[in-house]
């Protein structure tokens, strides 16, 4: 879990409104009696998250709600954070501030078509998983994410360029990934980065049910830089790291049915616990 949270933090830092996290330092461990008896391995899985309610507008990467929402959409499509909802974000003067990325980077949402992710993301974004009282409380914010007017075209394009330019391998190593897990997450981000413009357009179209062609999102990504995906090169120029391809299985009748199939394939209870 910490590696995923740390990687999301490093990818989003200064580019999206996301709560900062960091590992515990020895002085902090010594001040908390319940932590003193923990092993080094256990402590390596502990981290601190800054309180979302502690943030002021000047602490944010984007103070404008439309720009913040646009950067968030690109970020969460890149990392495939499918369970975004009002209980894992906060608002600072109307600008969203996100946290809790432990469900991101799961390879199933690369192997399945983008419509599967878009359906789940849109379902959560629209507050469908929330109790009715919370849906009513956040009605203005929920409505804003479901209209094109809630997004900023310039920021969408800028965020695409920023995230595609990142060295994902270096960030994953800094986050604590090693060995097979490192190759898998680099392969994951290599894949999602390459298709990011097209995928963002698909997700935006899905959640707004609107024509997004006027937003200048290149359908095949050819109008935007390919980015430094951070995959190491072999002597013959091939990229190392796990590779992912969309499932070739026949499409089901609805994205919801495809999502159900994906979730069954994931075996959530054990799969996520084994992930870093």
Asked whether residue 73 is domain-assigned, the answer is: yes
Note whether residue 41 is domain-resident.
Answer: no
- For residue 49, being part of any structural domain is answered with no
Q: Are 191 and 169 in contact (CB under 8 A)?
A: no
Instruction: Please check whether residue 132 lies inside any domain of the structure.
Output: yes
What does the pLDDT read at residue 43? 66
CA nearest to 242, candidates 229, 231, 256, 257? 231
Residues in the chain: 276
Which of 45-54, 155-164, 173-182, 253-262 shows the lowest per-residue confidence on average (mean pLDDT)? 253-262
DSSP bridge partners of 92: 95
218 occurs within a structural domain: yes
Range of the domain at 185: 2-19+55-274
Q: Mean per-residue pLDDT for 188-202?
A: 94
96's enclosing H/E stretch is strand 95-98
- Angle (nearest 5°) at CA 139 between 138 and 145: 95
Q: How confident is the model at residue 44 (pLDDT cuts 50, 70, 90)?
A: low
E-strand stretches of 156-265: none
Q: Is the pLDDT of residue 4 over 80?
A: yes
The number of domains in the chain is: 1
- Work out the pLDDT band at 34, boundaries 50, 70, 90: confident
Structure-model confidence comparison of residues 2 and 240, the more confident one: 2
Task: Examine the pLDDT at 220 and tell me if it is beyond 60.
Answer: no
In this prediction the pTM is 0.78
Predicted pLDDT of residue 191: 94
d(CA 117, CA 125): 12
For residue 270, being part of any structural domain is answered with: yes
Yes or no: say if 225 and 164 are a contact pair by the CB < 8 Å rule.
yes
CA angle 174, 172, 56 (to 5 degrees): 70
Tracing tokens 């608002």 back to the chain, one arrives at 91
Looking at per-residue pLDDT, the higher value among 102 and 227 belongs to 102
Tokens representing 217 are 């999102």
Q: What is the pLDDT of residues 95-154, one digit of tens each?
A: 999 998 888 898 887 888 888 888 888 887 777 777 788 778 878 888 888 899 999 999
Grade residue 197 by pLDDT with cuts at 50, 70 and 90. Answer: very high
Q: Name, in order, each residue with C-beta under 8 angstroms of 249's C-beta and a sequence gap of 6 or more.
A: none
- Residues 6 or more apart from 159 whose CB is under 8 A from it? 15, 16, 70, 71, 74, 75
The DSSP 8-state label assigned to residue 233 in this structure reads B
pLDDT of residue 154: 95
Closest CA to 117 of 147, 155, 77: 77
For residue 40, being part of any structural domain is answered with no
The pLDDT of residue 25: 73
Please count the other Cβ atoms lying within 10 Å of the Cβ belonging to residue 95: 21
In a domain? residue 25: no
What is the average pLDDT across 165-170?
Answer: 97
Beta bridge partners of 21: 49
């Amino acid at each position: 879990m910490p590696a995923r949270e740390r990687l999301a933090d490093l990818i989003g830092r200064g580019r999206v409104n996301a709560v900062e996290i960091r590992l515990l330092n020895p002085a902090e461990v010594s001040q908390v009696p319940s932590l003193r008896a923990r092993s080094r391995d256990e402590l390596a899985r502990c981290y601190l998250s800054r309180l979302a309610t502690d943030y002021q507008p000047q602490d944010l990467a984007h103070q404008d709600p439309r720009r913040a929402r646009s950067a968030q959409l690109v970020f969460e499509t890149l990392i495939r954070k499918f369970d975004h909802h009002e209980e894992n974000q906060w608002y600072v003067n109307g600008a969203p501030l996100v946290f809790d990325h432990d469900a991101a980077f799961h390879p199933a949402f690369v192997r399945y078509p983008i419509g599967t992710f878009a359906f789940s993301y849109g379902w959560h974004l629209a507050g469908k998983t929330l109790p009715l009282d919370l849906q009513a409380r956040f009605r203005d914010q929920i409505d804003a994410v479901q209209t094109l007017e809630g997004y900023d075209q310039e920021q969408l394009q800028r965020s695409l360029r920023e995230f595609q330019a990142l060295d994902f391998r270096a960030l994953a190593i800094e986050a604590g990934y090693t060995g097979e897990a490192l190759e898998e997450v680099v392969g994951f981000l290599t894949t999602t980065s390459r298709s990011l413009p097209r995928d963002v357009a698909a997700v935006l179209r899905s959640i707004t049910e609107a024509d997004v062609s006027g937003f200048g999102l290149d359908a095949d990504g050819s109008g935007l830089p390919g980015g430094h995906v951070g995959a190491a090169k072999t002597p013959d120029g091939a990229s190392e790291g796990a590779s992912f391809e969309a499932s070739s299985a026949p499409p089901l009748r609805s994205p919801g049915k495809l999502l159900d199939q994906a979730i069954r394939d994931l075996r959530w209870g054990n799969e996520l616990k084994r992930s870093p």
